[in-house]
Copies of this chain bind each other. A is one copy, B any other.
């Protein structure tokens, strides 16, 4: 009567502080060279390489060689969401420094969750889309309604194209700072991409945090009826 092998291996992945630090760093959805991850976790390159090899073997991260660098990233959005969800149980990390608290505020406000937007902004957008009848929640799925089809098309998204991708089209992702759901899947990714293309958001350097621009404020108010401070 033992648990699935996977449960234990996934849990032990997170249970090691060094690996947890690496994963947390990778949660921004970007590619990171091994050296950066070592620095982020406070370990030597050898040790980081050891951990990364282990994670790659489990299929949770993938490598891409570019010159003498090897860029790692989380393999699947669903894994990133799993880690995010796990974070939501433990609650936000205890605040140690002012600088950290400031960073946490930014993360809570808006951040990347692998390849889509998370945080207050994402939750509010998702709520707005449901309220407007563009999305309809059904279990862990978020169905796009007929009006939603029109809305997203007008917003500049190519839905048929997004549906073709080999991943969940539209689904919920639990937000660990807001404890609410936000839009994930191909649609979440596409919407996020589009909003970045319109310069509504800009990524902070070296962080998962995302900054909302003036255009973003205005656009969110006009298109989603959301007032963010």
Identify the A interface with B (CB < 8 A): 1-17, 20-21, 24-25, 40-42, 82, 85-87, 89-94, 137, 139-140, 174, 179-181
Chain B residues whose CB sits within 8 angstroms of the CB of A15 once the complex forms = 8-9, 11-12, 14-15
Question: Contacts A17-B2, A21-B1, A139-B179: A10 and B93 contacting too (C-beta < 8 A)?
Answer: no
Chain B residues whose CB sits within 8 angstroms of the CB of A3 once the complex forms = 14, 17, 20-21, 24, 87, 90, 93
Chain B residues whose CB sits within 8 angstroms of the CB of A7 once the complex forms = 14, 20, 86-87, 89-90
Question: Contacts A8-B14, A11-B12, A14-B11: A1 and B40 contacting too (C-beta < 8 A)?
Answer: yes
CA gap between A94 and B91 in the complex, in Å: 31
Chain B residues whose CB sits within 8 angstroms of the CB of A25 once the complex forms = 1
**Min C-beta distance of A179 to chain B, whole Å:** 6
Between A and B, 5 residue pairs with Cβ closer than 8 Å are A2-B21, A3-B87, A3-B90, A7-B89, A8-B15
CA gap between A5 and B94 in the complex, in Å: 9
CA gap between A25 and B3 in the complex, in Å: 10
CA gap between A17 and B5 in the complex, in Å: 8
Chain B residues whose CB sits within 8 angstroms of the CB of A1 once the complex forms = 21, 24-25, 40-42
CA gap between A24 and B1 in the complex, in Å: 9
Question: Contacts A12-B11, A14-B11: A90 and B4 contacting too (C-beta < 8 A)?
Answer: yes
Chain B residues whose CB sits within 8 angstroms of the CB of A9 once the complex forms = 15
